[in-house]
Chains A and B, each alone.
Chain A
Amino acid sequence: MTWLLTRGRVPFLCALLALTACFGLQAAQIGVERNNESLNTRDASQTAIYDRFKATFGSDEDLLLAVTHTNLLGAEGLALLDALTARIAGIDGVRRVFSLSNAQQIVPGESGGELAPVVASPLDDPGLAGRVQAALDRNPDLTGLFVSADRRTAGLLIEIEDRQGDLDYRAAIIDALRGIIAEPRAEGVSLHLTGIAVQKNDVSAYIERDQRRLIPLAVAVLALVLAGFFRSALGVLLPLGVMGVTTVWTLGAYGLAGFQLNAITGLLPPVLMVLSLAVSVHLIQGWLDAPGAPGDRVARILGVMRRLLFPCFFCSLTTALGFSSLVTSSMPAVKQFGVFAALGVVLAFAVGMTLVPVGLSFLSPPASAPTSRQHRLIRRLLAASDRAAIQHPGRVLAVFSALSVASLAGLLLVHNNTDLVRFLKSDAPLHRDTLFIDANLTGANTLEFVVARSDGTPLTSLDAVRRMATFEQRVLGREHVTGVSSILPVLRQLQRAESGGEELALPANERDTAYAFDLLEAAPEPDRIRKLIAPDFTSARFNVRIRAVGTAIAAPLADAILADAGRVFGEDYTVSATGAFHHVAQDSNRLVTAQVRSFGLALGMVVVSIGVLFRSVRLTFIALIPNLMPIAWTGGLMGAFGIDLSIGTAMIASAVIGLIVDDTIHYMTHYTRVYRGDPAEAIRRTTAEKGPALLVNNLVLALGFWVGCFGSFKPTIYFSLLSGVTILSALLCDLLVTPACLNLFDRRRAVPA
Chain B
Amino acid sequence: MSRARRVLLVLFACAAVAEAEGVVPARLAPWLDASTDQLGSRAYVPSPERRVGEVRILRRGDATVVQTLLYSKVLSRVVGEIRKKELANWPGSPDAAAYLEALARVQKTIWSRLPTDRRALDRRQKMWIEFVLSPGAALIAIGAFEIDESDGEVHVVSREPLVVLEPSRAYVERNQRLIAADSFHDGDAARGLLPEARE
Using a CB–CB distance below 8 Å, which chain A residues touch chain B?
A: 109-112, 457-458, 460-461, 509-511, 513-515, 517-519, 521-522
Contact A518 B79 (CB under 8 A): no
Those 9 A-B pairs whose CB atoms lie nearest each other, nearest first: A111-B80, A514-B118, A518-B73, A460-B118, A510-B116, A522-B74, A511-B116, A518-B74, A111-B76
| Contact pick for A514, options B77, B81, B116, CB 8 Å | B116
22 chain-A/chain-B pairs, Cβ below 8 angstroms: A110-B84, A111-B76, A111-B77, A111-B83, A112-B80, A457-B119, A458-B118, A460-B118, A460-B119, A461-B118, A510-B117, A511-B114, A514-B116, A514-B117, A514-B123, A515-B74, A518-B118, A519-B77, A522-B52, A522-B73, A522-B74, A522-B77
Bound state CA distance, A518 and B76, in angstroms?
11
Query: Does B72 count as interface, using CB distance less than 8 angstroms?
Result: yes
Bound state CA distance, A457 and B72, in angstroms?
21
Bound state CA distance, A461 and B74, in angstroms?
17
| Contact pick for B119, options A110, A111, A458, A509, CB 8 Å | A458
| Contact pick for A517, options B52, B72, B77, B118, CB 8 Å | B118
A229 to chain B, nearest CB (A): 79
B126 to chain A, nearest CB (A): 14
Contact code string B103-121 (vs A, CB < 8 Å = 1, else 0): 0000000000010111100
Bound state CA distance, A604 and B73, in angstroms?
68
B75: nearest chain-A partner, CB-CB = A518
Question: Which residues on the B side are within 8 Å of A515 (C-beta)?
Answer: 74
Question: Which residues on the A side are within 8 Å of B77 (C-beta)?
Answer: 111-112, 519, 522
B52: nearest chain-A partner, CB-CB = A522
Bound state CA distance, A522 and B73, in angstroms?
8
Question: Which residues on the B side are within 8 Å of A510 (C-beta)?
Answer: 116-118
The residue in A109, A461, A510, A515 that gathers the most chain B C-beta atoms within 10 A of its C-beta is A515
Extra A-B contacts (13), CB below 8 Å, given A111-B79, A458-B118, A511-B116: A109-B80, A111-B77, A111-B80, A111-B81, A111-B83, A112-B76, A112-B80, A458-B119, A514-B116, A514-B118, A518-B118, A522-B52, A522-B77
Bound state CA distance, A515 and B117, in angstroms?
10
B82: nearest chain-A partner, CB-CB = A111
A109: nearest chain-B partner, CB-CB = B80
Count of B interface residues, CB-CB < 8 Å: 17
Question: Which residues on the B side are within 8 Å of A519 (C-beta)?
Answer: 74, 77
Bound state CA distance, A458 and B83, in angstroms?
32
B109 to chain A, nearest CB (A): 15
Bound state CA distance, A110 and B104, in angstroms?
12
Bound state CA distance, A118 and B52, in angstroms?
29
Bound state CA distance, A111 and B80, in angstroms?
5
Bound state CA distance, A526 and B118, in angstroms?
19
A464 to chain B, nearest CB (A): 10
Bound state CA distance, A511 and B117, in angstroms?
7
Question: Which residues on the A side are within 8 Å of B76 (C-beta)?
Answer: 111-112
B87: nearest chain-A partner, CB-CB = A110
Question: Which residues on the B side are within 8 Å of A513 (C-beta)?
Answer: 118
Question: Which residues on the B side are within 8 Å of A509 (C-beta)?
Answer: 116
The residue in B77, B83, B117, B119 that gathers the most chain A C-beta atoms within 10 A of its C-beta is B77
Bound state CA distance, A110 and B82, in angstroms?
12
Bound state CA distance, A440 and B129, in angstroms?
56
Bound state CA distance, A13 and B42, in angstroms?
87
Bound state CA distance, A517 and B119, in angstroms?
11
Bound state CA distance, A112 and B52, in angstroms?
18
Bound state CA distance, A519 and B111, in angstroms?
14
Contact B118 A522 (CB under 8 A): no
Which parts of B171-186 form the interface with A (CB within 8 Å)? none
Bound state CA distance, A112 and B74, in angstroms?
10
Question: Which residues on the B side are within 8 Å of A460 (C-beta)?
Answer: 118-119
Question: Which residues on the A side are within 8 Å of B114 (C-beta)?
Answer: 511
Bound state CA distance, A640 and B38, in angstroms?
90
Contact code string B50-80 (vs A, CB < 8 Å = 1, else 0): 0010000000000000000000111011011
Question: Which residues on the B side are within 8 Å of A511 (C-beta)?
Answer: 114, 116
Contact A461 B119 (CB under 8 A): yes
Contact B80 A110 (CB under 8 A): yes
Contact B83 A110 (CB under 8 A): yes
Contact A518 B116 (CB under 8 A): no
Bound state CA distance, A343 and B74, in angstroms?
67
Question: Which residues on the A side are within 8 Å of B119 (C-beta)?
Answer: 457-458, 460-461
Question: Which residues on the B side are within 8 Å of A518 (C-beta)?
Answer: 73-74, 118, 123
Question: Which residues on the A side are within 8 Å of B84 (C-beta)?
Answer: 110
Bound state CA distance, A111 and B76, in angstroms?
6
Bound state CA distance, A518 and B78, in angstroms?
13
| Contact pick for B73, options A109, A110, A457, A521, CB 8 Å | A521
Contact A522 B72 (CB under 8 A): yes
Bound state CA distance, A513 and B114, in angstroms?
13
Bound state CA distance, A280 and B79, in angstroms?
88
B112: nearest chain-A partner, CB-CB = A511
A637 to chain B, nearest CB (A): 61
Question: Which residues on the A side are within 8 Å of B123 (C-beta)?
Answer: 514, 518
Bound state CA distance, A109 and B74, in angstroms?
14
Question: Which residues on the B side are within 8 Å of A521 (C-beta)?
Answer: 73-74
Question: Which residues on the A side are within 8 Å of B79 (C-beta)?
Answer: 111
Bound state CA distance, A461 and B81, in angstroms?
28
A459: nearest chain-B partner, CB-CB = B118
Bound state CA distance, A111 and B87, in angstroms?
14
B84: nearest chain-A partner, CB-CB = A110
A455 to chain B, nearest CB (A): 10
Bound state CA distance, A110 and B87, in angstroms?
12
Bound state CA distance, A110 and B74, in angstroms?
14
B119 to chain A, nearest CB (A): 6
Contact code string B93-137 (vs A, CB < 8 Å = 1, else 0): 000000000000000000000101111000100000000000000
B70 to chain A, nearest CB (A): 13
A328 to chain B, nearest CB (A): 48
A500 to chain B, nearest CB (A): 13
A522: nearest chain-B partner, CB-CB = B74
Question: Which residues on the A side are within 8 Å of B52 (C-beta)?
Answer: 522
Question: Which residues on the B side are within 8 Å of A110 (C-beta)?
Answer: 80, 83-84
Bound state CA distance, A519 and B119, in angstroms?
15
B81: nearest chain-A partner, CB-CB = A111
Bound state CA distance, A461 and B116, in angstroms?
10
A110: nearest chain-B partner, CB-CB = B80
A109 to chain B, nearest CB (A): 8
A517: nearest chain-B partner, CB-CB = B118
A480 to chain B, nearest CB (A): 36
A575 to chain B, nearest CB (A): 20
B77: nearest chain-A partner, CB-CB = A111
Question: Which residues on the B side are within 8 Å of A514 (C-beta)?
Answer: 116-118, 123
Question: Which residues on the B side are within 8 Å of A111 (C-beta)?
Answer: 76-77, 79-81, 83
Question: Which residues on the A side are within 8 Å of B74 (C-beta)?
Answer: 515, 518-519, 521-522
Bound state CA distance, A513 and B119, in angstroms?
11
A521: nearest chain-B partner, CB-CB = B73
B118: nearest chain-A partner, CB-CB = A514
A513: nearest chain-B partner, CB-CB = B118
Bound state CA distance, A111 and B73, in angstroms?
14
B85 to chain A, nearest CB (A): 12
B114: nearest chain-A partner, CB-CB = A511
A509: nearest chain-B partner, CB-CB = B116
Question: Which residues on the A side are within 8 Å of B117 (C-beta)?
Answer: 461, 510, 514
Bound state CA distance, A109 and B81, in angstroms?
11
Bound state CA distance, A326 and B174, in angstroms?
82
Bound state CA distance, A214 and B28, in angstroms?
94
B87 to chain A, nearest CB (A): 9
Bound state CA distance, A461 and B73, in angstroms?
16
Bound state CA distance, A510 and B77, in angstroms?
20
B74 to chain A, nearest CB (A): 5
A511: nearest chain-B partner, CB-CB = B116
Bound state CA distance, A460 and B83, in angstroms?
29
Bound state CA distance, A509 and B72, in angstroms?
21
Bound state CA distance, A111 and B84, in angstroms?
10
B104 to chain A, nearest CB (A): 10
Bound state CA distance, A582 and B54, in angstroms?
48
Bound state CA distance, A267 and B1, in angstroms?
75
B73: nearest chain-A partner, CB-CB = A518
